[in-house]
Amino acid sequence: MTGPVTDAPSRAIWDALYAEGNHAPIAPYTDIIAFLARSFARDGQGRKVLEIGCGTAQNLLFANWSMGFEVYGVDYSETAITQARAQFRGKGLSYGALEVADATRLDFPDSHFDAVVERGAAQHNRLAVARAILAEMRRVLKPGGVLCCSLAAEGHFLFGQGTHLGEGDFFNGEHDGTRHFFSRRDVLDLFAGMEITRWMLHSRQDVPGNRMVEQYHVVEARKPA
Ligand SMILES: C[S@@+](CC[C@H](N)C(=O)[O-])C[C@H]1O[C@@H](n2cnc3c(N)ncnc32)[C@H](O)[C@@H]1O
């Protein structure tokens, strides 16, 4: 096998989190839904969207149910994909595909999707693996297609915790395994060759505790036509 590979401990951690019901489907994430609405004028009919690291697929469920997209999702947690399929079945909805797969090796043809999204998945890998994931997301996106990523930033409260694996890379067994915290330079490198159409740094603060909790780069980009 060549190229960067995903680490097995993190995969096992995610599978256990889903099995314990700790990452149960609750609601879609506004960053992803707002991006799809902005990009397609709220009309997903006839459009294919893929989510990398879709988990239990609450984003895809909304994209299909409320927006009409044909949806596809991959996640390396088998338990997550089982729960994702059950959600669609439970609502009598259909999907293009929901498959167990490593996001660095997607079994989809080149230039296949109108939109490819990920929320909080690429960041759960070392930077080299995140780069490989971005390359795959870009490969399967149609020319002129759009992409949205949500990536932990260096101001995230978990930055620096756990075992330091490399620049910006940490393994935190107390939380959810491997994570890369993206600098602005990382983001620019990751999206080189694509047109960044929107880039927001979202910070969440625990007000009573007076401390910063989460911080993410939310990056939207277009593949050159
Ligand atoms: C924070 S959860 C986000 C789940 C979903 N995107 C959401 O918005 O609720 C991160 C997900 O990414 C998946 N993941 C992380 N690295 C992956 C990889 N290399 N290949 C496939 N899935 C991956 C995990 O199994 C987990 O389901």
Domains of the chain: 8-222 (3.40.50.150)
Closest by alpha carbon to 120, among 38, 174, 180?
Answer: 180
Q: Kindly give the distance from the C-alpha atom of residue 131 to the centroid of ligand 1, in angstroms, as a whole number.
A: 15
Mean pLDDT of 124-149: 97
Q: Kindly give the distance from the C-alpha atom of residue 179 to the centroid of ligand 1, in angstroms, as a whole number.
A: 11
66-71 CB contacts, 8 Å cutoff, 24+ apart:
67/33, 67/36, 67/37, 67/40, 67/42, 67/43, 68/43, 68/44, 69/36, 69/44, 69/45, 69/115, 70/44, 70/46, 70/95, 70/96, 71/95, 71/96
Q: Kindly give the distance from the C-alpha atom of residue 222 to the centroid of ligand 1, in angstroms, as a whole number.
A: 22
pLDDT-based confidence at 217, cuts 50/70/90?
very high
Percentage of residues in the chain with pLDDT exceeding 90?
Answer: 83
pLDDT for 4? 52
Distances (CA, A) of 42 to 36, 62, 67, 186, 223: 7, 12, 6, 31, 20
Pocket of ligand 1 (CB under 6 A): 6, 14, 29, 53-55, 58-59, 75-77, 80, 102-104, 119-121, 124-125
